[in-house]
Every structure is written in structure tokens, then in C-alpha cells.
Amino acid sequence: MNSSTPYRIPGLELIDHTFEVPLIHSDPGGRKIEVFVREVCDLDPKSKEKPFLIFLQGGPGFRAPLPIRKEGWLKRALTEFRVLMYDTRGNGLSTPVDYQTLASEGDAQAQADYLKHFRQDNIVRDAELIRGQMSPDTPWSTIGQSYGGWCTMTYLSLHPEGLKECFIFGGVPGLDRTAREIYEGTFPFVEERNRQYFDKFPMDKARLIKLAAHLQENEVRFPNGDRVTPQLVQLLGLKFGFAHTAEEIHFLLEEAFVQAGDDEVVSHTFKIGLQSALRFDTNPIFAILHEAIYAQGSASGWACGEVQKENYPHFDDFDDFLFYGEMVFSWMFDEISELKGMKEAADILAAYEDWPALYDKEVLSQNTVPTACAVYANDMFVNAKFSRETIESVPNMKAWYTSEYEHCGLRVGGEKIFSRLIDLARGEVER
């Protein structure tokens, strides 16, 4: 472990830690990568005596939250924990995966073989190795946001001895649900969110139909040179899963066109807004491993695209424009320049069948680690029905089911929700 000197920002003391971990944990003497963890404490002189709480980030493919202010869930956590902001392998200040670094792995097969080691099983193995250095004699607590809940259930499967208590925000996976089943359950939610959006902003249907026609008839380019297509505009629907983002889409669409002399053209403002909303270029793990996080002993097979073609072909009809949700398609690797070099590797991963199991149902059936979950009834990203299946099958899991929050509950109501989950896990309140 390599650690920085402690440094401070208002209300917080930070220490940066870097760990060397095996790329393949079954080959501890082989290739190594780095994993970064930022330790966050408040300024209480007794903070060094507090136990650790490690944050498991959503995604896959995003770095841990940046501790800029002591507020929300972090404020509540620091009253009794030292918080570890964990950049999981491939993300943030850990050895990164992006279009620049992945190319150095070699051909498409070598890239795919490398990426096979970046799912939740190895995220957990890294975490347990880190715990062995930072808290070797004491189990620690975890907080998992979205995909971080997937990692939590894998942690409970592989290393329950390392856990004192777990808190999950909108991220309880269906243990046996395949990628295809996930998307079969997701599309109806996305259709409903489209209905709600166009009920709220009916004028945007005509705007989007006009925009789609213009993009098909004209070669419009982002500042980075990629062509702007109707399909990329459809990806704005990813925002539907968060609070107040429908308004963001609406106000962006208001500026879709600008008059340039005698011509009406797609505005630079809109192109910049759309490009910045699509984070697949800067966070490619989100795209290339998105379906792989569901795969156990079978291929994911570009399941989202197959479900869409078979059951929801009307999403291809731009004369009645509909947005997608949290969905990844193979065509994205043709249209987004930073993903193009990964297309062959992505196809190899989509066809790969020998993915190891991520959850041990036998171990989970004997779970003794208190685990409290916030399940959002209207979550567009995580099907509450699948979450309930898991919660009802695993002992010592308790859930707070609520329709008050969207998938971003941790961000917008984190202090309140976290306080409730702590009370729930510790038996202070009923579920």
C-alpha cells in the first residue's frame, strides 16, 4: 500500500491510497494492476478510531464519488465511519480502461481476455485484499449504489467473513436473471417513461420527429467528428431514470435548431449538450461490459438489441420518436468513435459463454450479515420485482420499498435514506 500524507478540504481530511493487486487473483504472482482508494474522515480528533465503510460505485464503469462537500449521505456516514471512496479496477485513478489504454493490450481477443477480469467478482476480490491491509482483524461495512449492489451480493457470496453490515441503494440484482430477462423487464418501464415525458412536454414529439428527419437527410457532426444520428438522440432517455432530468432534455431540445442565414441547422449548443450527455466515450466499461454483469455460464448475446428487434421494433420508427433507457446496443460501437476500436472485443465478449458465477446461492441462503436495501418502486434501471425475489430468498436482508425516490435517491435524499437503512439493519425500525 502506498499512501499520501493527509490533506484537508473544508470539513474533511483525505488520504489517498494505492494498492497493487493481481489482474487474475488465481495467479497472484502474475500481472499486477493498481487500485485507488481515497480515505475520507471528518475533522473529529477521534475519527481515526472509527471503523471503515467502503463505497461500491454504480455503473459499471464509473469512479467513486468525489468528496467535495460534507453533505448528504457522506455527512451521515462520517458521524460513525471512515469512508473509503473506491475506484474499482479500470476506473478513475485505478489502472484505467479506455480507448487509449485498451489498444495497448493487443488484438481484439487479447482485449476481450483482459476485460473479462473487470466484473464484480474481481472488484470484490480487490476489496477484500485491500481490507486485509487496512482492516485485517475487523470486518467492514459497505454501501452500494446501483451496480454497487450487484458487487455487494457478490461480496456476500465470496467473502461474507469480511463484512459487518451492508447498505444498498437501488441495486439489488435478480440472482438468476439473464441479460435478456433484464431487458424484457426494462422496455415496458421505458415505454411508460416515454408516455409520461410526452404527456408533460407534448410539443417535443414534433421537435424530435423533425430533428430525426433532419439528421437522416443531412450529415450533421459533433465537434469530435462523429455523425449525429437519431439513434444517439434516443440515448438521451438514459436520463429518465433520474429526478428532474426530463426537464433537462426538454430545455435542450428547445435549442435543437438555430437559423444560420437562410438555413435552419442543428445548433452547436444542442450538439455539445447531446455529446456531453453520452458518457460512453469517457466510460467505455459502461458500454462494453454492460450486459456481461448479468452473464453466468452463458453468453449475453447483445440481448438488449435482440429484445428490441423482436418485441419493440416501433422504437426504430422515427415518425413516432421514442427514447431508449439504460440500454447498450452493438451499433453504438459503429457510431461512437472512442468505441469503434473496441467493437471486435465487444463482439467477442457478447458471444463468450464461460462466464463464472457471480453469486453463490448456497452461501447466500445462510447469510448472517445484516443487509438493508432501499428499493425504488418506479426504478427504471433496476426492476423492483427482481430485487424483491432476491431479498425474500436471502436471510437477514431487509428492504425499505418506496416510491418517493428515483434511481438517484442516494444523491438527492442520501442522508435521510442512509439513516433509515442504518436503523433498518440494526433493528431500530421495522421494514
Question: Which are the catalytic amino acids?
Answer: 146, 354, 407
User: CA 21, CA 32: separation in Å to the nearest integer?
Assistant: 5
User: CA 307, CA 310: separation in Å to the nearest integer?
Assistant: 5
- What's the DSSP call for residue 173? -
Q: Are 325 and 238 in contact (CB under 8 A)?
A: yes
Q: Are 243 and 406 in contact (CB under 8 A)?
A: yes
H helix or E strand, kind and range, residue 280:
none
User: CA 182, CA 304: separation in Å to the nearest integer?
Assistant: 9
Q: Are 220 and 214 in contact (CB under 8 A)?
A: yes
Q: Which three cell numbers stand for residue 334?
A: 459503429
| DSSP secondary structure of 316-379 | G-GGG-----S---TTHHHHSHHHHTTHHHHHHHHH---PPPS--HHHHTT--S-EEEEEETT-
Q: What sign results for the dihedral spanned by CA atoms 377, 381, 386, 388?
A: negative
User: CA 324, CA 140: separation in Å to the nearest integer?
Assistant: 38
Quote the Cα angle for 80-81-86, to 5°: 160
- What's the DSSP call for residue 48? G
Q: Are 349 and 118 in contact (CB under 8 A)?
A: no
Instruction: Give the number of other CB atoms < 10 A from CB of residue 115.
Output: 24
